[in-house]
Structures are given as C-alpha cells and as structure tokens.
Amino acid sequence: MGMGSERGLTLIELMVGLSIAAILAAIAAPSFRTLLARRAVESAAADFMADFRYARTEALKRGHPVSVCGSSDGLACTHSKDWRGGWIVFADRDANRLVDAGEAVLRVQGAARGLRELLVDRGATPSSFTFHPNGLANGVYASVSIKASGADPEISRCAKVSGRGRVVLLPEGTTPC
C-alpha cells in the first residue's frame, strides 16, 4: 500500500469553518429576533380579527348574542384590559358578558407569546364585546394595542373596533393607538 491521499479536515480548517459560521450567526441573530417579534404581533392581530369575525357570524347564525372577552383560563371572563392571557368567544344568551351555566364557550384563544402588550381599551366600559343577532356590536368603540416584547417599538399593531363591531387593522407602527 502506498501513500494515498488523506481524507478529512485539519484542525485549522475546522476552526476557520466554525469561526465563519459563528460570524454569520452573529450577523443574522438580530434580524431573526426582529422577524420573530414581527411574527408574534402579526399572529396575535390575525387571531384577534378572526375571532371577532367568528363571533359576529355566530351571533347571526345562532340568533342570540355572542360575546368576546379576555380570559386567562378559557372558562370565564377576566374583565381586564390586558388580554395577553388569551380570550374566549362564547354564546351569551342573556348578553351579560359572563359565561353562565348553559352558555357554551365556542372558541378559546390561549396566551399570546412574545408580546409585552395586548391591551383592549374601551375607556371606562368593561373590555368585552357582545355581538347581537342583527350582527351589530354593543356600540362602544375600542382600541387594541399589540406590541412585541423586548423589541423595537415600531413592531406593533393597532386595531380599531367600531361601535358596530367592525375591526380595522391600522398600518404597522401606527402610534398612538
């Protein structure tokens, strides 16, 4: 057997390759963090809008009120402006914005991850919404502010809920909400 060509990497080649990979990862990490933050905000905004449309549709279909409220356990309303813990959509036959015996929870949205703020502001009115069988909401305007945690303040979304229950998502970074 003669001397054949050696296969594999030398220690120096391996170190150079790892150094290049580390430099590229360090350059990409901030962009990746921004991407994840933007995705968390967009996902929460899309879920919020979808559940409002669903509540309105269910009220029309069922012929009785359907409410949406913040909920941290998926069973009852928290009546808080902070909805990071999640929210529920439920058949609210008596339109009292409480999940009573016999009223079905139709959808549960779990806790929002990657957000520092998901505030539903209706002024002094409780932060819940009721859609009536005619498709209209309970007539109070609201602002919904969604912001990513630990990220650039520009990574935020604002939604406006009209007195009729229509949800409009404003352009990214719209401030104040």
Quick check: 154 and 173 in contact, CB under 8 A?
A: yes
The confidence score (pLDDT) of residue 55 equals 94
- Asked whether residue 6 is domain-assigned, the answer is no
Tokens, residue 144:
């919904």
* Residue 153 pLDDT grade (very low, low, confident, very high; cuts 50, 70, 90): low
The confidence score (pLDDT) of residue 2 equals 54
CATH of the domain at 59: 3.55.40.10
User: What integer is the mean pLDDT of 70-74?
Assistant: 93
Boundaries of domain holding 115: 12-169
Tokens, residue 46:
């899309």
- Asked whether residue 4 is domain-assigned, the answer is no
User: Who has greater pLDDT, 177 or 167?
Assistant: 167
Number of domains in the chain: 1
Q: What is the arrangement of strands in the sheet containing 105-109, beginning at the earlier edge strand?
A: 105-109, 87-91, 66-70, 128-131
How many C-beta atoms surround the C-beta of residue 158 within 10 A? 20
> For residue range 49-65, what is the model confidence (pLDDT) as tens digits?
999 999 999 999 999 99
Dist. CA 126–CA 176, nearest whole Å: 21
- Asked whether residue 7 is domain-assigned, the answer is no
- The answer on pLDDT for 151 being more than 70 is no
- Asked whether residue 56 is domain-assigned, the answer is yes
Q: What is the arrangement of strands in the sheet containing 167-169, beginning at the earlier edge strand?
A: 115-121, 142-148, 156-161, 167-169
User: What integer is the mean pLDDT of 121-147?
Assistant: 82
* Residue 89 pLDDT grade (very low, low, confident, very high; cuts 50, 70, 90): very high
pTM, full prediction: 0.78
- Asked whether residue 177 is domain-assigned, the answer is no
- Asked whether residue 1 is domain-assigned, the answer is no
- Asked whether residue 79 is domain-assigned, the answer is yes
The confidence score (pLDDT) of residue 133 equals 93
What does pLDDT average to over the chain?
85
- Asked whether residue 125 is domain-assigned, the answer is yes
